[in-house]
Amino acid sequence: MSTEAPRLIRSIRLLNAAEDRIKTEFTAPPPPEKSLKTPALLELAKEFQPFAVVLTNNAPLKGKDVDALPECVKLVSTVSVGLDHLDIPALHARGIAVSNTPNVLTDCNADLSMMLILAACRRAAEYYTLMKNGWHHGLGMGGMLGHRVTGKRLGIVGMGRIGQAVAKRARGFDMTILYHNRSRLSAAEEAGATYFEKLEDMLPHCDVLTLHMPGSPSAPPLMNSQTFSLLPKGSVFVNAARGSLVDEDALIEALESGHLFGAGLDVYRQEPNPNPRLTALPNIFMTPHAGSATIETRTAMCMLALDNVEALAKGLPMPTPVTV
């Protein structure tokens, strides 16, 4: 009877603590020097015959990619919450389990969302550009004024773990919390927030709107010309959820026209090459899909991905299986 540790491959080098764990608890090839794309990952799977494939959205598995996985693969463990890069029904149809890494990144995503809100309202991108180019003259009384965040009305679309964590932080700025969700939360979870069953009814009341819901490239954008027009003139838009939720042409138009004061974005329809018309706008504060990008959170994500591999290999329930 073989006593070999569970065999795994990964599409990307994990953080040091996770790589150290792989050396002692798993059988694996050396970490890749650079992120593996899907064809290279599939070739490695064919050669190494792993029990589990640990990956990120840089190596999507869909359609024929799923068919190409060898029979030995019993788990695809993604180091992410999002599942857009995986064909879940196809994987399950082949008897391959799927796991992801929710919960551990809630706080850091909420922190980043608050940074985007503050930066967009207080013109951080423009201030930074001014300083980098040389601050040669003082600003007049009305020069480069932003919007106060304290006391504003914050609309949250998607009041799950991250949405609720953003609401908690926003209350520290005395913001009034409004939210739209598939279903209303309990009174304890709402914590005084106002629920709107219809998004269109909430939008006119939002000084700041932030998205925290799943996205799908095949679904029409949630935010388009019509929904942007329902926001008050001079409002701020923030998206740290999914780029597919936004019609970027409509967003650009709203920013250029002045209907929106500014925007804070962490996600884009085209990653890692966002629309250059977006990046050219002065009133956008942009980050590179970095919501979970802290040492603490990324380490926790890597470890949770390995926890799922370990559990399934031992015949135990996985901590965070994907069941839909």
Cis check: omega of the bond before 272, within 30 degrees of 0: yes
Is 310 an annotated catalytic residue?
A: no
pLDDT over 70 at 1, yes or no: no
Q: Domain with 114 in it: what CATH number?
A: 3.40.50.720
The lowest-confidence range among 80-84, 194-198, 310-314 is 80-84
Residue 174 lies in a domain: yes
Rounded to an integer, the average pLDDT of 263-270 is 97
- Residue 96's closest CA among 152, 46, 54, 52? 52
Catalytic residue among 189, 200, 256, 271: 271
In this prediction, residue 217 carries a pLDDT of 79
- What span, in angstroms and rounded, lies between the C-alpha atoms of 3 and 25? 12
Average pLDDT score over residue span 99-112? 97
For residue range 115-130, list pLDDT tens digits in order. Answer: 999 999 999 999 999 9
**Nearby residues of 222 by Cβ (< 8 Å), 6 or more positions away:** 157, 199, 211, 213, 245, 246
Evaluate whether residue 134 is within a structural domain.
Answer: yes
**Does residue 240 carry a pLDDT above 80?**
yes
Q: Are residues 141 and 96 in the same domain?
A: no
Q: Are residues 38 and 155 in the same domain?
A: no
Residue 176 and residue 234 in one domain? yes
Q: What b/e string do you get for 266-290 counting C-beta neighbours within 10 Å, with b at 16 or more?
A: bbbbeeeebbeebeebebbbbbebe
Question: Is 65 found in the same domain as 117?
Answer: no
Are 150 and 249 part of one and the same domain?
yes
> 151 and 79 in one domain?
no
Whether residue 53 lies inside any domain: the answer is yes
| 134 backbone φψ class: left, alpha, beta (φ>0; ψ -120 to 50) | left
pLDDT of residue 2: 53
- Whether the model clears a pTM of 0.85, i.e. scores above it, the answer is yes
Residue 1 in domain: no
* Whether the predicted pLDDT of 216 surpasses 90: no
The pLDDT-based confidence of 215 (bands split at 50, 70, 90) is: confident
Percent share of the chain, pLDDT over 90: 95
Residue 314 has pLDDT above 80, yes or no: yes
Q: Are residues 252 and 309 in the same domain?
A: no
Domain-embedded: residue 323: no
Q: Is the pLDDT of residue 237 over 90?
A: yes
**Domain co-membership, 92 together with 117:** no
Tally the domains of the chain. 2
Q: What are phi and psi of 290, to 5 degrees?
A: -120, 25
- The answer to whether residues 261 and 233 belong to one domain is yes
Shared domain check, 203 and 90: no
Helix, strand, coil percentages in the chain from 3-state DSSP, rounded to 5: 35, 15, 45
Which residue range is the domain that position 90 belongs to?
8-104+295-313
pLDDT surpasses 90 at 218: no
Q: Are residues 92 and 189 in the same domain?
A: no
Q: Write down the catalytic residue from 180, 269, 289, 298.
A: 289
Decide if 289 is catalytic. Answer: yes
267 shares its domain with 163? yes
> Is 262 domain-assigned?
yes
Q: Is residue 308 part of a domain?
A: yes
- Mean pLDDT calculated for residue range 84-100: 97
Span 138-161, pLDDT tens digits: 899 999 999 999 999 999 999 999
Catalytic residue among 242, 269, 298, 310: 242
Mean pLDDT to the nearest integer, 45-58: 97
Mean pLDDT of the chain: 96
Whether residue 268 has pLDDT greater than 60:
yes
